[in-house]
A and B are shown apart, each in its own frame.
Chain A
Amino acid sequence: MEFLVGSVWAAGLAIGIAAFGCGLGQGIGLNGAMSGISRNPEAAGKIQVNMLIGLALIESLCIYALVVSLILMYAHPALEAATAALGAH
């Protein structure tokens, strides 16, 4: 039982922390880009490209965390054994 509870806790914490961090990172990046474009509109193209690559990398981190948390809840290798052991008791 502790195993299942631990898995769910870990999954929730994983996606929660990852989403918080990624949202914060994207917000800070966007904020910097806005400031940069406001101060120097001619550099908008360069800023756009770098921001696009940065945001794509940040976003993929969050998706990784989501997959890991879903694996913990639905496709954990030891989940079936744990469920079977729980059913036996």
Chain B
Amino acid sequence: MQDLTKVVDLITKSNWLLLVVSAMVAVMTTSMSFYLGVVAGGLIVAVNFHLLKRTINNSIRPEVVSEKGRSLVGHVMVKYYIRFAVSALLIFLLISNHIVHPLGLLAGLSVVVASVFIVTLLVVTRLYFKEAV
């Protein structure tokens, strides 16, 4: 259980780390709009991940589940759609006004996915070497 909580903490930290690193790489090697895209996309998904974590930590607990049952699914889904609508509005404004480069935005939006894969690789590697010893 504690290991799994550590995994989530590691993902949260690596989100921010990856965002900073990718923003630094983008500011050094690409144009301003691409850099803005990476930063905006990274911020949107990192904040989304935080909100999702908070929703799940608050809603998906044994006492709440036994009390409310399956109506919790609707509750979490409504929160998901609100978050998605806000993200969609932000992304729409960024793209339609040509503030950011779309590929930069896609790169920024991949921050959470990339950090999940990196942490998974880390955990699997650690497990593999632990078992080998």
Contact = CB atoms under 8 A, between A and B. Distances in A.
A16 B77 CA distance: 17
Given A31-B73, A49-B7, A57-B116, A44 B62 contact: yes
Interface residues of A, number: 35
Contacts of A64: 106, 109
Contacts of B57: 48
Interface in A44-89: 44-53, 55-57, 59-60, 62-64, 66-67, 70-71, 74-75
Contacts of A55: 52, 56, 80
Contacts of A37: 60, 62, 65
Interface size class of B (residues with CB under 8 A): 35 or more
Contacts, number: 108
Contacts of A30: 72-73, 76-77
B112 interface: yes
A41 B62 CA distance: 5
The binding surface of chain A is classed by DSSP as helix
A21 interface: no
B24 interface: no
A67 B4 contact: no
Contact of B95 (A41, A46, A51, A70): A70
Interface of A: 19, 23, 26-27, 30-31, 33-34, 37-38, 41, 44-53, 55-57, 59-60, 62-64, 66-67, 70-71, 74-75
Interface of B: 1, 4-5, 7-8, 11, 44-45, 48-49, 52-53, 56-57, 60-62, 65-66, 69-70, 72-73, 76-77, 80, 84, 87-88, 91-92, 95-96, 98, 102, 105-106, 109-110, 112-113, 116
